[in-house]
Chain A
Amino acid sequence: MTGLQIAFLAIAAVTLASAVLVVSSRKIMHAALWLVLALGGVAALFATLEASFFAAVQVMVYIGAIAILIIFSVMLTRRVMEDAGPQNTRYWPAALVVSLGVFGGIFFLLLQWPGFTIEARPVLEQGDFLVRFGQALVSPDEFVVPFEVASILLVAAMIGAIIIARDPSRK
């Protein structure tokens, strides 16, 4: 077992444990903080794969923006800060079946993939990797269409948010 594998197992364990705590915490604020830890674990996984750009973006977008907005909205909705009711609905066996089915399906599909058992190779040309990624996003025969579609989606969401937030009495 290499050091990288030990690091992977440790980070994965922390991520999964905090993900479980996100749904099982009684206080919604604690759930949000566990979510921050789970997302940080994913960022650490990116870092161990030498994908430093994705690690930094994961921290910036998910911890720096999304998790903070979640915490902020939780703080503004005071009445649901603590919940004493039952934590499970009566449909939980059905949910268990569905989630196990999805997990098993993905696992089975990955087993079919020949790359599943090969050991990870170190990324060569680390310096060029980021430039290559940027060019791939904007070059016409690579990913420019999905990139622009995602941009349009985000702009539409932004306009929608502004329209919802606008004071309807003002013209």
Chain B
Amino acid sequence: MTPWYQDPVQFIAEWLRGVLLGWGMPPDGVELVLTVLGAGTLALLAMLWVVFLIWYERKLIGRIQDRFGPNRVGPWGIFQPIADMLKIFTKEYITPEGVDRVPYNLAPVLAVASVLLIWAVIPFTMTVMGVNLNVGLVYIIASGGLGVLGIILAGWSSNNKYALLGGFRAVAQLVSYEVPMVVSLLIPVILAGSLGVNDIVMAQRIPYLISAPVAALIFFITSMAETGRSPFDLTEAESEIVAGFNIEYSGLKFGMFYVAEFLHAFTVSLLFATLFLGGWRGPLAEQIPLLGFVYLVVKTFVVYFIVILFRGSLPRFRIDQMMDLNWKLLTPLALVSLIVSALVAKPLEGMPVAQTLALLVSNGIVLILFIEGTGKKVQRRREIVGKPRPLAVPHPEEQQGAQSTGG
């Protein structure tokens, strides 16, 4: 039995189980109570964590843009999101006329739920995880599908053409980027020989970032697109479609979309750290489970920092550029690297170091060949099809008149 400070969550769970059994509760009932408590705590902590994430991201984006960021409420402005949160609680819910009520109110719930569902299968330490599902990765992809559904519902039920356009764009983007994402996720599955998230972490004696760098790159880019933030924020391009699918939402309903977006960005960093950086693995993590949690948080924040750096420094893609990137570059690259990884990994099974080196070299060759071969073609600028046609052209006579009066 490890001391309480090395594995506090298991310690509390054991203590609570003992107390409840001591009260004469049936063992099934105790398990049910513990499961419900654990799920509630995890979801609540994830939601509260967003308060910190919003501050962190605003501060960093501020630094990137040569500003201070929030700096008024509390030390370094750390209580700013709490003030914002209290404000959004008190705001009025406005339901526009002609909305479809049930989907309209269901959409924000689905948006948050689809992100929180992912947290159920992530192993936080060696011992603490929601469920050790043997189809963990399929489950993660499936819960992403629910998020798409939430955006569709929001866009369609709002009875607003900008919302509908935002919904169209979101679905086109999310459904397309799911393809290379799923293919790139197959590579860790092949290497680990399991779909379970904790099994994939256990198999990473050497992190998969080294043995599958191409898959890691594709997963990173596609998961950025799945979160729908800059540079992939065409779904809420302010200059074109006002605010996209969430334009008709106010108060806490809008707040839920906002929370879902921030939490999603953090969750994909968490997933990246789990699948490609070895999750909770690190020196002594198996003896002291709490240390594993620290490793996971550190790795996640490294990834999250890069995500924010992307958001702060890259301009928005045009829609054809976004589709070109997905279908002409990422999808073929993912397919080729899947085939190459499978062919290289199989004969070297059982020799982890040789396997990793061979995979690293073959991944590098694939990437270089791809950039040399197709990269140039994709990079070439799209030709202008016709002459530019302005919407309104002054009539020749009027133009002359204007010139004469003006002159």
> Does A65 count as interface, using CB distance less than 8 angstroms?
yes
Q: Which of B142, B148, B152, B195 contacts A130, CB < 8 Å? A: B195
A52 and B137 CA atoms in complex are apart in Å by 12
Inside 8 A of A33's CB, which chain B residues have their CB? Answer: 103, 153
Q: Tell me whether B171 and A57 are in contact (CB under 8 A).
A: no
A147 at the interface (CB under 8 A from B): no
Shortest C-beta distance, A36 to chain B (Å), equals 7
- A126-B134 in contact given A59-B145, A64-B142 (Cβ < 8 Å): yes
Query: Are B146 and A53 interface neighbours, CB within 8 A?
Result: no
Instruction: Tell whether B144 is near chain A: CB-to-CB under 8 Å.
Output: yes
Q: Is the beta-carbon distance between B148 and A60 smaller than 8 angstroms?
A: no
B168, CB-defined interface residue at 8 Å: yes
Q: Report A39-77 residues with CB < 8 Å from chain B CB.
A: 52-53, 56-57, 59-60, 63-65, 67-69, 71-72, 75
Closest Cβ–Cβ distance, residue A124 to chain B (whole Å): 14
Report B103-152 residues with CB < 8 Å from chain A CB: 103, 133-135, 138-139, 141-146, 148-149, 152
A60 CA / B148 CA spacing, docked (Å): 11
Check: B164 CB closer than 8 A to any chain A CB. Answer: yes
Distance (Å) between the CB of B178 and the closest chain A CB? Answer: 8
For window 150-178 of B, CB contacts with A under 8 Å fall at 152-153, 156, 164, 167-168, 171, 175, 178
Known A56-B138, A57-B138; contact A64-B145, beta-carbon cutoff 8 A = yes
Interface size on B, residues (CB 8 A): 25
Other-chain contact of A63, B133, B149, B156, B164 (Cβ < 8 Å): B149
| Interchain CA distance A33-B138 in the complex, whole Å | 23
CB distance from B184 to the nearest CB of A (A): 16
Which residue of chain B has its CB nearest to the CB of A60?
A: B142
A29 touches B134 (CB 8 A): no
For the complex formed, measure the closest distance between the CB of A169 and the CB atoms of chain B, giving whole angstroms: 13
In-complex Cβ contact of A127 among B134, B145, B152, B164 (8 A): B134
- Contact of A68 with B148 at beta-carbon distance under 8 Å, contacts A29-B156, A33-B103, A75-B164 already known: yes
Majority secondary structure of chain B interface residues (helix, strand, loop or mixed): helix
Asked if A64 meets B135 with Cβ closer than 8 Å, knowing A33-B103, A75-B168, the reply is no
Residues in B neighbouring A68, C-beta threshold 8 A: 145, 148-149, 152, 171, 175
- A65–B148 Cα distance when bound, in Å, is 9
Contact A130 B135 (CB under 8 A): yes
A64 to B139 CA separation, bound complex (whole angstroms): 11
Distance (Å) between the CB of A97 and the closest chain B CB?
A: 35
Across the interface, do B134 and A52 meet the contact criterion of CB distance under 8 Å? yes
Least CB distance from B134 to A in Å reads 5
Asked if A60 meets B134 with Cβ closer than 8 Å, knowing A68-B175, A72-B171, A130-B195, the reply is no
In the complex the two chains form, what is the Cα distance from A89 to B178 in whole Å?
40
By a CB distance below 8 angstroms, the chain A residues around B148 are 64, 68
The residues of B that contact A129 with a CB separation of less than 8 Å are: 134
Query: Which residues of chain A have C-beta atoms less than 8 A from B139's C-beta?
Result: 52, 56
Question: Are A53 and B135 in contact, with the CB atoms below 8 A?
Answer: yes
Given the complex of chains A and B, what is the CA–CA distance between A67 and B145 in angstroms?
A: 10
CB–CB A63/B171 < 8 A: no
Provide the bound-state CA to CA distance between A75 and B149, in Å. Answer: 13
User: Which residue on chain B has the smallest CB distance to residue A127?
Assistant: B134
- Please, how many angstroms separate the alpha-carbon atoms of A72 and B173 in the complex? 12
Of A60, A69, A75, A130, which contacts B141 at CB under 8 A? A60
Q: Per a CB cutoff under 8 Å, which of B133, B145, B149, B195 touches A60?
A: B145
Closest to B193 in A: A131
Kindly state the separation between the CA atoms of A109 and B153 in the bound complex, as whole angstroms.
Answer: 41
Query: In the complex the two chains form, what is the Cα distance from A56 to B156 in whole Å?
Result: 26
B17 to chain A, nearest CB (A): 21
Which of chain B's residues 166-201 have a Cβ closer than 8 Å to chain A? 167-168, 171, 175, 178, 195
A165: min CB distance to chain B, Å:
12
Interface residues, chain B, with chain A CB atoms under 8 Å away: 100, 103, 133-135, 138-139, 141-146, 148-149, 152-153, 156, 164, 167-168, 171, 175, 178, 195
Given contacts A33-B103, A64-B141, A75-B156, 16 further A-B contacts (CB under 8 A): A29-B100, A33-B153, A52-B133, A52-B134, A53-B134, A56-B142, A60-B142, A64-B145, A64-B146, A64-B148, A64-B149, A64-B178, A67-B149, A68-B152, A72-B152, A75-B168
The 8 A-B pairs at the shortest CB distance, nearest first, are namely A64-B145, A59-B142, A60-B142, A56-B138, A53-B135, A56-B139, A56-B142, A56-B135
Q: Can you list 6 A-B contacts (CB < 8 A)?
A: A52-B135, A56-B138, A60-B145, A68-B152, A68-B171, A126-B134
